[in-house]
Chains A and B, each alone.
Chain A
Amino acid sequence: MVDDRTWEGLTNALLLADIGLPTTEALLDGVRHRVGAEGVDDIEGVLGLLKEEILDRLGGADRSLAVGGQPSVWLFVGVNGVGKTTTIGKLGWREASAGRSVVFAAGDTFRAAAADQLQVWADRAGATMVRGAEGADPSSVVFDAVEHAAARGADLVLADTAGRVHTRGNLMDELAKVRRVADKGAGTVTETLLVIDSTTGQNGLIQAREFAAAADVTGIVLTKLDGSARGGIVVAVQEDLGIPVKLIGVGEGTDDLVEFDPADFVDALFSVDVPA
């Protein structure tokens, strides 16, 4: 039996997954329409339609990481504490394991010991590390790293940047400059990845919009999905801004960075975790 309680339950599940009210209402409107048209009358059937609706909105995107420069530069951006440095560490390990020569650019020259943190990951991954002094101009650090990689014939530069709150205009300008400068020399920026913490609520959409405006974001890395948060805001990000999730972080180990699978993601939206 599909009744008001069914719809309320689905609304609540979507809201609790941080899908957000506008997207939730749009999704359920679509499902309601189909429930009527297709004569679905059981909860499982409705849930199935809802999952299809979400998948429709997530589907069809190219989630591969583009290469094509000499070297290719992948730039990592996002607010503070979302997991940019850790993501670079894990991705560097993955790419190096796949036989690519990888250079890390320690473009976070602001946070204390951020470069030290990245160095640990570079050692784990067997990547070369280019770093500047604390407080150095991040653009020049990234530029140096790209030149260094070009001179050595390396395939890939993974460039870290300091976390920044998107409301800080000067820091967003700085980021735009990093993005431009990274493209200037021998290399080509083929991916600018916005890292979003899956615990992020409705602010995630604003983050995505602002970072996309400043740095031409090509994809999302959704981190910390091994917790109880669902990261539902990325549905709105893809629908509103057309930016797909490309990778997800599911732990702190070297291999805890995997491809985004829309079907798994949608299933997880409706599952229940019990905290320890």
Chain B
Amino acid sequence: MFEGLSSRFEGILRKVRGKGRLGPEDVEEFVAEVRVALLEADVHLDVVQTLLDRIRDRAVGVEVAGALNPGQIVVKIVLEELTAVLGGETFRPAYASKPPTVVLLAGLQGSGKTTTAAKLARWYKGQGRNPMLIGADLERPAAVAQLRTLGDRISVPVFSDSTDPVAVARAGLAEAVRLGRDVVICDTAGRLAIDEDLMAEVAEISAALQPHHTFLVVDAMTGQDAVTMAEAFHSRLGLDALIITKLDGDARGGAALSITEVVGRPIAFASTGETVEDFELFHPDRLAGRILGMGDVETLIEKAEETFAAEEAEAAAARMLAGTFTLDDFLEQLRALRKMGSISSIMEMVPGMASQVRDLDEAVDERRIDRIEGIINSMTPAERLDPDVIDGSRRARIAAGSGTQVGEINQLVKQFREMRKMMKQMGGRGPGRRKAGRAKKKGRGGRVTAAGPAPIDKKKGLSLPGLGMSPDDQGPSSGGLDLTGNWPPGPTSGR
């Protein structure tokens, strides 16, 4: 019944094949499938409408070019929109300047508050804190016994009493201060959002505790009611973030996304199993892919990147080694590189990749590539084929056309010549070396592989994909264009 969004698009793809641009009718076909996927994932109806409007706006008129097919482009847009909702605001655990830091958990019956309380306590322990648990669920039989058992298991003290929930919370806080615990986590009874008495009670607990963080515990399997429920809790308690539970199942978790969109609070933690270890800070990227039934995240990037870049790079490499590398080839390389930059937003979705992507963004200076691209675009085809024809008047024309300085054009041409010369040399080095120099495997430019991105050495700069040169051998200044250095050069540096 559930299938990834990409596979849903297969039927549409046949119809739009060969179109250079997606028209409104094409986009509507995609959008209809996106709607189905989002509703199946339990994204709230209103949120679905909002998302579809945004997706429609972005997808109409999009040019179909380069690495991605129309379906992949739409998937990319959808992913970006979902990630924007989920990652718009991230939760950062903060600690009170005057301990203890007080954490309040609230939610419906059965959402997993008690287990979450213990998991959260264990997490804080892992952060070097000394948490204490308060069992203020006096409603469910043996809820406190459950919390005590879990507290024993993780060696965290549990406070409770058989008075009333508000009194327990208050006394528990005093006890934490007395014991010098620096984090206090209060478990509360499950309650329905429409239960006036119990909602008033949890508001009272909140007033007594003055919590630094109030978390709504949400079951990943929740359907359309999630938003109504969360709004009710938010208006009473002023939520700081969500904790999403039971993510070890196969529910898509669209409800959590919906709450984030409507209530404007991020998801702080995700609970992914029954044991206390199955708990971690939330990764927006993973949920976005999950809502769409992916798989698709990795395949989208890997396939497109690999096939496109590998083919292009291979062709360019062949020309390079033959010594017929032109400025057009060079521009293609630059564009391939830029594509990686723009795709960095997707790459951030791959777990553990966010920091690498930041490195990539730093290494590829967008403005600098813009200028180079501008210069090359202002050249005639003949000039691109053979830059040696560029004389003073041509230089002035190109500089005027691209809005750059004459010196920059000189520098580009010079670097290009050096590059071409070096390639010729490499191409003549014999078959063994040639093989190693070919770009059949991944280029060095921070290309994504299944095993993760190649590390980017910022000092050496980013070599262009497919150049097949090793910075270790050549050093950055004699090799490809240094994209990380100062650019444009000052007017005096032009010769």
* Cβ B222 vs Cβ A112 within 8 A: no
User: Residue A107 at the B interface, CB < 8 A?
Assistant: no
Q: Given the interface contacts A197-B219, A228-B228, does A167 sit within 8 Å of B196 by beta carbon?
A: no
Give the nearest-CB partner of B254 in chain A.
A201
Give the nearest-CB partner of B40 in chain A.
A202
Q: Which of B153, B194, B224 contacts A227 (CB 8 A)?
A: B194
User: Residue A268 at the B interface, CB < 8 A?
Assistant: no
* Cβ B248 vs Cβ A16 within 8 A: no
Interfacial chain A residues near B10, Cβ < 8 Å: none
A204–B192 Cα distance when bound, in Å, is 20
Q: Given the interface contacts A80-B246, A120-B141, A165-B248, does A201 sit within 8 Å of B255 by beta carbon?
A: yes
* Cβ B192 vs Cβ A227 within 8 A: yes
A224–B236 Cα distance when bound, in Å, is 21
Q: Which of A20-59 contact B (CB under 8 A)?
A: 20-21
Q: Which of A79-131 contact B (CB under 8 A)?
A: 79-83, 86, 89, 110-114, 116-117, 119-121
A104–B193 Cα distance when bound, in Å, is 31
User: Residue B209 at the A interface, CB < 8 A?
Assistant: no
The number of residues on chain A lying at the interface, defined by a beta carbon within 8 Å of a beta carbon of chain B, is 52
User: Residue B472 at the A interface, CB < 8 A?
Assistant: no
Q: Which of A18, A79, A134, A274 contacts B223 (CB 8 A)?
A: A18
Q: Which of B146, B225, B228 contacts A113 (CB 8 A)?
A: B146
Give the nearest-CB partner of A123 in chain B.
B141
* Cβ B149 vs Cβ A81 within 8 A: no
* Cβ A276 vs Cβ B250 within 8 A: no
* Cβ A113 vs Cβ B223 within 8 A: no
Give the nearest-CB partner of B231 in chain A.
A275
* Cβ A202 vs Cβ B195 within 8 A: no
> Most chain-B CB neighbours within 10 Å: which of A82, A199, A224, A229?
A199
Q: Which of A207, A232, A275 contacts B194 (CB 8 A)?
A: A275
* Cβ A201 vs Cβ B42 within 8 A: yes
> Most chain-B CB neighbours within 10 Å: which of A15, A165, A206?
A165
Q: Which of B108, B141, B143, B147 contacts A199 (CB 8 A)?
A: B108
* Cβ B193 vs Cβ A276 within 8 A: yes
Interfacial chain B residues near A5, Cβ < 8 Å: none
* Cβ B224 vs Cβ A197 within 8 A: no
Interfacial chain A residues near B357, Cβ < 8 Å: none
Interfacial chain B residues near A228, Cβ < 8 Å: 192-194, 225, 228-229
Give the size category of B's interface with A: 35 or more
* Cβ A112 vs Cβ B108 within 8 A: no
Whole-angstrom distance between the Cβ of A85 and the nearest chain B Cβ: 8
A120–B192 Cα distance when bound, in Å, is 22
User: Residue B454 at the A interface, CB < 8 A?
Assistant: no
User: Residue B1 at the A interface, CB < 8 A?
Assistant: yes
Give the nearest-CB partner of A13 in chain B.
B45
Give the nearest-CB partner of B220 in chain A.
A203
Whole-angstrom distance between the Cβ of A104 and the nearest chain B Cβ: 13
Q: Which of A16, A81, A203, A207 contacts B109 (CB 8 A)?
A: A81
User: Residue A62 at the B interface, CB < 8 A?
Assistant: no
Q: Which of B141, B150, B195, B228 contacts A121 (CB 8 A)?
A: B141
> Most chain-A CB neighbours within 10 Å: which of B1, B196, B199?
B1
A226–B148 Cα distance when bound, in Å, is 30
Whole-angstrom distance between the Cβ of B31 and the nearest chain A Cβ: 14
Q: Given the interface contacts A113-B149, A120-B141, A167-B249, does A80 sit within 8 Å of B110 by beta carbon?
A: yes
Q: Given the interface contacts A201-B251, A202-B42, A274-B194, does A229 sit within 8 Å of B225 by beta carbon?
A: yes
User: Residue B57 at the A interface, CB < 8 A?
Assistant: no
A83–B111 Cα distance when bound, in Å, is 10
* Cβ B250 vs Cβ A199 within 8 A: no
Give the nearest-CB partner of A232 in chain B.
B223
User: Residue A205 at the B interface, CB < 8 A?
Assistant: yes
Whole-angstrom distance between the Cβ of A173 and the nearest chain B Cβ: 16
A226–B196 Cα distance when bound, in Å, is 13
Interfacial chain A residues near B70, Cβ < 8 Å: none
Give the nearest-CB partner of A162 in chain B.
B274
User: Residue B142 at the A interface, CB < 8 A?
Assistant: yes
Q: 13 A-B residue contacts at CB 8 Å? A: A12-B45, A112-B149, A116-B145, A134-B149, A201-B42, A201-B223, A202-B40, A206-B1, A224-B109, A224-B110, A227-B225, A275-B231, A276-B196
- Residues of B with Cβ closer than 8 Å to A? 1-2, 36, 39-42, 45, 108-112, 139-143, 145-150, 153, 192-196, 199-200, 219, 221-226, 228-229, 231-232, 236, 246, 248-252, 254-255, 274
The 6 A-B pairs with the shortest beta carbon distances in the complex, nearest first, are: A201-B223, A81-B110, A120-B141, A201-B42, A112-B149, A275-B232
Known contacts A204-B223, A273-B194; 14 additional CB pairs below 8 A are: A15-B45, A20-B40, A114-B142, A116-B145, A116-B146, A199-B225, A205-B1, A207-B221, A224-B108, A275-B228, A275-B229, A275-B232, A276-B200, A276-B236
